[in-house]
Amino acid sequence: MESSDLRREENYNEFLRLCQNNDYLDVTFDEESGGVSAVHRFHKFDKQKGVFADRRGDYERKVLEILRKNGDRIILESEISSEGNRICDGLLNDIPVEIKAIEGLGTWSISTKLLDAEQQHAKTVIFYFPNKDLYSENRVNEGIRLANSSPKSKGVWQTSNIIIAIGEQLETGWNKKATPIEGWSVLEGLRGQNGANPFTIPPSDAKLLKE
């Protein structure tokens, strides 16, 4: 079985499992790409108004859509920690991930968010730029440099564990030359935009919808 077929099968099995779990909402499988997304009922979407959205939580919802269409498995988990520790947003292909939206041009915004994600025990960060004018590769690289040079960091950040999404799609050329961290495969690019058939199954109804 090819790796893409295996990933699709794994994602579909995860989709069926989550459909049976009433703790997860908006369980969605994309038939075109084979991607899956879901949101734990105790995941907290930021309700504050964003610069480019009615609510900042809408940025996370957009990232879910982008990654699902890319064929990935993105699950936003509960942000309630029994031990009182800060935790990250969820799992991207089983890797702890934090989603960070960039709404301004501040010099320290990238590095500050990387340091924050490190405190949340994230292994991968997705930077979402709702406006393409806010993004530049040099800006992100400088943010990585500043974060890794901070005494608060263990110097863990590199291009292979940072994902860039801009507007409606992934920045596919960003980390194509990077060496993936263990257990992670570099994203191959946005698939499934044309003719995709994403659908959502309520937790109480675990049957597969067909056209």
Mean pLDDT for 75-89 is 82
Per-residue pLDDT band at 178 (split at 50, 70, 90): very low
> H or E segment at 137?
helix 137-148
pLDDT at 1 over 60: no
pLDDT at 3 over 80: no
Mean pLDDT for 153-166 is 90
pLDDT at 83 over 70: no
CB distance 176 to 160 below 8 Å:
no
CB distance 96 to 121 below 8 Å:
yes
* Angstrom distance (rounded) from CA 102 to CA 171: 14
* Angstrom distance (rounded) from CA 169 to CA 134: 15
**Average pLDDT over all residues of the chain:** 81
pLDDT at position 82, please?
61
CB distance 34 to 87 below 8 Å:
no
Per-residue pLDDT band at 79 (split at 50, 70, 90): confident
Residues of the chain with pLDDT > 70, as a percent, come to 78
> H or E segment at 8?
helix 3-19
pLDDT at position 54, please?
87
Tokens at 143, concatenated: 């943010």
pLDDT at 27 over 50: yes
* Angstrom distance (rounded) from CA 160 to CA 138: 15
pLDDT at position 175, please?
54
